[in-house]
Structure formats: structure tokens, C-alpha cells
Structure 1
Amino acid sequence: MKKLSPKQKKYLLKRGRRELRNKKRIRKTRSLRQSTSGLIPQNHSFSFLDLRTPSKFKLEYEYSEDVIGYINKIKALGRSGQHMNIIMDDIVEIGEGAISMLLSVMEELVRAGIVFTGTKPKDKTCKAILEKSGFFKFVNGKVDESNSNSKNTILNTGDNNTPQSELAFEIAKSMETIWEQKGRSPSVYSCVFEMMRNSCDHAFKKDNQIRWHFALSHSDTDNTVKFSFVDNGKGIIKTFTEGILKNFVNLFQDNVDIIETAFKNGIDSRTGLSWRGKGLPTIFDNYSDNHIKNLVVISNNVYIDFDRSIRYKLKNAFSGTYYYWKVDQTCVKECFPIKK
């Protein structure tokens, strides 16, 4: 064997050290576990509780109790300091509204130091809906290349100063899906603005607690956009009963009556107060005028689906407010040129 020169020995020694360092890096990478808030070393001291997501993870009336009960369980465990593993393996139906509600709760708890890990649905259609929804803009996780190019998105904020241009841009883009041309929709914009204002002005005790999520899901095949808006504030009922309605609760049959009156007629119709009720009639007017359709509202222990005439007192109350609606070509066309 040919004797190595000092230069060759030095080179091989350096190469050996470099390869050893690379092996250590590989081992280190493999020992990390993906989470919503970053990478967790394998030798961490966290204790994760497995939580199986309901197989029908959507907020239609028939499944709402199970989903809200699941959301409430996440809130309660998180507030007790428990880290969680969100298992979505068994999901066979999934809705964008439920995704937004889950995301809003997870983000609130992550800010408080809770760590989440999780799995995706095994069902390919459900997995695609989740990956295309915008969920992974906020949660660490890989998205299949086929699902990465999506018009769907979720906007969120921590204050009352979200640029109006951002909202306007996404709404204009939704008009392109529905009417095949970008344009302004004052009705849709006014709905979102009222929801955003209610969240920022009334739903939270402190400004630094304010969080809302606004999701848009596009379907080019049937020219439809589904919208959802959710916050984890105190909810419409608590806002009213702890404030303006504190001395007028006896004028209403129950919480369902309070919310339905607030939307349809305004609180002044029952109380005589010169105050219409935090913009809720504006949202209902746009629904009544057929600018939006399939309006659903969940707040505290009330579930209302205006299209299906469902007015229901939930057993599992949701601390916050959730809105869902759709716009398609059966709605009144409202697509004005964008001002430059």
C-alpha cells in the first residue's frame, strides 16, 4: 500500500471529521418532532395528550354539538397547561368553518405556551381540503405540491388595525371566482367589517387578547365562495347581557330570542333603546336582500341557521362567535369596478 503523504493524511482527517459532523446533524434532525409551534427535541419533557378529532368535522347543525364539544375540550385542557396531539386520522368529512374554529383556539393556546402536534386525515379528499384551506399558513406542516397552489386563505389579526386593503383584495378575488371578474362587493365587505368591529370593540376585555380569523374557500367549478369568521371572545349573548341588556333580559324568551331579535329587528324593537345592536342587522339585511346566503351564526349556547330555519340551544356552548355564509351566482350580483 502506498504511503500517504502528510497532506493526504490531513485531508482525510478533515473529511472524516466533516462526515462525523454531518452524521450528527442527520441524527439530530431525525430526533426532532414537528409541532405547530416549531421543532421539539425528542428528549423533551412535555407530556402530550392524544385527542381524536370527530370523524365529521364540520359545523352543520347535525354535527355541531360534537365539534363544539371537542373545541371546548381543547380550550379546557390548554388552559390547564396540557400539551396536545391532534389526531385527524379518522376524519371522513371536513368543513372550512370547523378548520377556522380549531385554528383560532390553537393559536390562542400557542400564545399561552401550549404545544400541539398532530396528524392529517387519511381520507384524501379531507386531507386536500385541510391543506388547501390556509391552515398551514399558521401551523407547521408539509403541504402536498398538488394542494399548495390554492386561492383559499385565512386572514387573522391581533387588533383593530388590519389593513382594509387586505380584506378588500381577498373579497375582490372572491368576486372573480363567482362572477369571473374581480370587483368590489360593498355588501360582503360590510358584513366582514361589522364582524371585525364587534370582535375588536366588544368581544375581548383587553386589546392584546383580540384575535379573529376570516376564511375564504373558493370553488371554481360551481362559482362559489364560502366565508367564515370566528373569534374566541365572550360571545354575543354575554356582550349583550353584561352590557346594554343587563336590565332588559326579562323581555326576551331565551338566548335564541335575543340573538334572533338582534339580527332581524335590532334590540331597540324590544327594549325601546335608541340603539340597533352592534351592526348585526346590517349582516341580516345583506342576507335578506340575497347578497349572501346560507347564513349560520353560533355564539355562546345559540345555533341559528337562517336558511334552514334552525334555532337551537346548544348543550355545548361556544365561548366566542362564529359566522358562516356563501355567495354564488344565485345571489344578487354585486361586483363593482375596483377604484384605482
Structure 2
Amino acid sequence: MKKLKPKYKRYLQMRSRRQMKNKKRNGNPRSLRQSTSGLIPRNHTLSFIDVPTPIVFKLQYEHCEEVISYINKIKGIGRSGRHMNIIMDDIIDIGEGAISMLLSVMEELVREGIIFTGTKPKQPIPRGILEKSGFFKFVKGKIDESNSTTKNTILNTGDNQTPQSELAEEIIKSMETVWGQKGRSPSIYSCVFEMMRNACDHAFKNENQIRWHFALSHSEIDNLVKFSFVDNGKGIIRTFTEGILKNFLNLFNDNLDIVETAFTNGIASRTGLSWRGKGLPTIYENYDDGHLNNLVVISNNVYIDFDRKIRHKLKNSFSGTYYYWKVDQSCTKECFEIKN
């Protein structure tokens, strides 16, 4: 690869200093789409640290510890003020949820003045998944023409809030993939809305910090859509233990017990409190009613896969909340006609 031109190198350096100055002066964040340098050549004089990605970059139970450790490593390097090369060359398998989690932490650090460069997977299948995921809506980089047309996308917060109409339209598209016809799905919409509301109301200290990413990945052949939602806020455990459950922790066995009880709507019965937090029970109720399957939740040091009945305490805590689920033709059909 050719070296960057001196003029572009000076631009990157000046931009990094300007972002740090802006952050110190008024804390006004920029969206990743505006600020990131993208996947640019590595042979240049700016100081970058190579951060190789795990070769299986997925948030399934078998691989989540390594991926979350990697995410935490990126956060640590970024908060020390160092720029990074995200090296994906050796990836053999990749998941859209892990892509969204990576994108969310990159956005967080870009707002603090960190610059990212990087590479794509060499193998065509994981490279195709990355290129089709929506990642390159936010990160500059070339996409193979065969991967440029896709229903896959990632929605996010930024300087302008994602309108509910855009969210609704993507869910309508997902129903078309699953059921062969465009239609509304109140259950899926309500799940995503509750995730957004939890992120906005509880996960962040102030409004300027609110960031979430919602990814949809379509498989027309399998009549399947995979969904993931991630925010980099406090996480479910910290939200509860610093709030409503602060004086009731002795009623719970551990963090796993807190999260599972919150989803199954048992907080009120366990504590005797008049609990108004209906967001997590709404998500679980839609799962329990069969409108979605393969529900996975990662938050702080808790990993729960409801389908596989996995409840696991993570060695590497994730500061934030991640949800993953699927909708396919094994789910209870919910595809209501769109009325004009």
C-alpha cells in the first residue's frame, strides 16, 4: 500500500487534536459517520497500535469471553489516548452482533479523538458478512460490488435521533423476508422500542452520551432475520444496584439472579416494591409467546441464552447491554397488513 500524502497526515493529526480540544471545551460529541478516518492504509507515520481481532468474532457463548475481552482491550487502549489498527485479516467466522458491539465502542472512542485504521478478513465469507452488515455506513472503506446491495443495515443514534419511522420501516422489511409480505410486527417493534427506552432513560448519565446500535441481517433463502441491539451505557446490573435494588441486594443470589428476575417480571414479587420497570419483561414476554427466538442478553458480568438455558458469569465484564434474537418461520406469525 502507498503511504498517505503529507497533507492527509497533517489533516488526521490536526483533527485528532481538534476533537480532544472540543471535548474538553464543551463535551459536544460527533457521530462516527462524521469523525472516523475509516479503514485507511497502515503504512504512515502516525503512531497506531495493532489490535488483532479474535479469529472467531462472534458473541455465542463459546466465544463471547474472548470477544468481550477484546472489546475491553480496545476501550483501554483508546482511553489511554492511543490510535489503533483493527486487524481482521485472520477472521474465519464473524457475527453481526460482534460487528455492532465493535462499532459501538469505536464510535465512543472516536468522540474522544481516537483514530482507527484497519483491515478486512482475508477469507471471502466473513469479509462478505462484514461488508453486507452496514458497518461501512459508518466506517470508510471499499465494498465489493457484489456486497453493495443488501437489506442488511445498522441504525444508530447520533447528532440526529433515529426517527421511529425508519425503525418501523426496517422491521416491515424484516417481516417481508420472513413471511413473504411486508407487514407490521408490534411485538418486534415493542422489543426494540423498550431497548431504546432503557438505553435513553437509564444507561447513560446525560443525554449527550446516549448511543445505541441496532443491526438487522437478512437471509432470504432461510426466511430468517437476525437482530442485535447494543448500547455502551451502565448495563442492567449497575442500573438496578445503583437504583431500585440498592437496599434489596440481599434478596438476590447474585447478578445472574437479578437479571433473570428482571426479565421474568419478578422484581416486584421478590422485593415487595411497586416496580414500574416493564421494559425487560416486555422483551421476555414476546420471546415466551414465540414471536422471536434465540434470545441472548449480555450485560455487565452476565451472559444469558434463554433458548440454550445458559446462565453464565463472565470473567470479562461488558460495560453496557447487548441483545440478540432471531425471527424465522418457526416463530408465531405476526405480520399485520399496512393500512394507508
Supply the distance in 1 between the matched residues of 2:222 and 2:197 (Cα, whole angstroms).
31
Aligned twin of 1:266: 266
- Structure 2 match to 1:119: 119
Unaligned ranges ≥5, structure 2: 13-34
Distance in 2 of aligned mates of 1:36 and 1:162? 19
1:18 corresponds to = none
Residue 279 in 1 paired to residue 279 in 2? yes
**SS in structure 2 of the partner of residue 85 of structure 1:** strand
8 Å contact kept, 1:32–1:41: no
Q: Which residue of 2 aligns with 1:147?
A: 147
Per the TM alignment, residue 37 of structure 1 is displaced from its structure 2 partner at its CA by 2.0
Structure 1 residues 43 and 190, CA, compared in 2 at 3 Å: closer, same or farther?
Answer: closer
More divergent stretch after superposition (185-194 vs 152-161): 152-161
Could you tell me which residue of structure 2 aligns to residue 250 of structure 1? 250
| Closer/same/farther in 2, CA of residues 39 and 160 from structure 1, 3 Å limit | closer
**Quick one: distance in 2 between partners of 1:278 and 1:160?**
27
Task: Tell me, in whole angstroms, the C-alpha distance in 2 between the residues paired with 1:197 and 1:276.
Answer: 13
Task: Identify if the C-alpha distance between structure 1 residues 40 and 174 changes in structure 2 by more than 3 Å, giving closer, same or farther.
Answer: closer
CA drift of 1:244 comes to 0.4
Paired with 2:86 and 2:158, the residues of 1 have a C-alpha distance of 24
Deviations 1:54-90 (A, max 9, x none): 0000000000000000000001111110100000011
Distance 2:80 2:335 in 1: 48
Alignment of 1:1-340 (within 5 A): 36-37=36-37, 46-158=46-158, 161-340=161-340
**Deviation of the 1:336 alpha carbon:** 0.4
Change (3 A) 1:29 1:339: farther
Per the alignment, do residues 152 and 30 of structure 1 end up closer, same or farther by CA in structure 2, a change over 3 Å counting? farther
Match for residue 7 of structure 1? Answer: none
Local SS of the residue matching 2:182: coil
Larger Rg belongs to: 1
Please list the CA deviations of residues 13-61 of structure 1 after superposition, one character each: whole Å capped at 9, or x if unmatched. Answer: xxxxxxxxxxxxx997698589942698999763100010000000000
Deviation at 1:169?
0.2
Instruction: Note if contact 2:211-2:231 (Cα within 8 Å) is conserved in structure 1.
Output: yes
Larger mean CA deviation between 273-282 and 212-221 belongs to 273-282
CA RMSD of aligned residues (A): 2.2
Paired with 1:75 and 1:294, the residues of 2 have a C-alpha distance of 28
C-alpha offsets along residues 274-296 of structure 1, whole Å, 9 cap, x if unaligned? 11434100000000000000000
Distance of 2:172 and 2:322 partners within structure 1 = 22
Q: Which is worse superposed, 157-166 or 84-93?
A: 157-166
Distance 1:240 1:159, change over 3 A: farther
Would you say the 8 A contact 1:302–1:314 is kept in 2?
Answer: yes
Cα deviations by residue, 1:114-168 (Å, 9 ceiling, x for unpaired): 0000000011000000000000000010000000001000000148943110100
Q: CA deviation at 1:337?
A: 1.0
Deviation (angstroms), 1:339:
2.7
Alpha-carbon distance in structure 1 between the residues aligned to 2:294 and 2:63: 16
Structure 2 CA distance for aligned equivalents of residues 46 and 129 of structure 1: 30
Contact 2:268 2:274 in 1 (8 A): yes
CA contact (8 A) 2:203 2:235 kept: yes
- TM norm structure 1: 0.88
Return the alpha-carbon distance in structure 2 between the equivalents of residues 27 and 265 of structure 1. Answer: 57
The answer to whether the 8 A contact 2:303-2:310 is kept is yes
Deviations 1:95-124 (A, max 9, x none): 000000000000111111100000000110
Give a deviation string over 1:223-273, Cα, whole Å, max 9, x none: 000000000000000000000000001100000000000001331121111
Unaligned runs of 5+ in 1: 1-25
Contact 1:37/1:110 (8 A) holds in 2: no
Q: Residue 325 of structure 1 aligns to a residue in which SS?
A: strand
Does structure 1 retain, via aligned residues, the 8 Å contact 2:39–2:141? no
**Amino acid of the residue matched to residue 255 of structure 1?**
N
| Inter-partner Cα distance in structure 1 for 2:223 and 2:41 | 45
Using the alignment, how far apart are the partners of 1:251 and 1:103 within structure 2? 37
Give the number of aligned pairs: 315
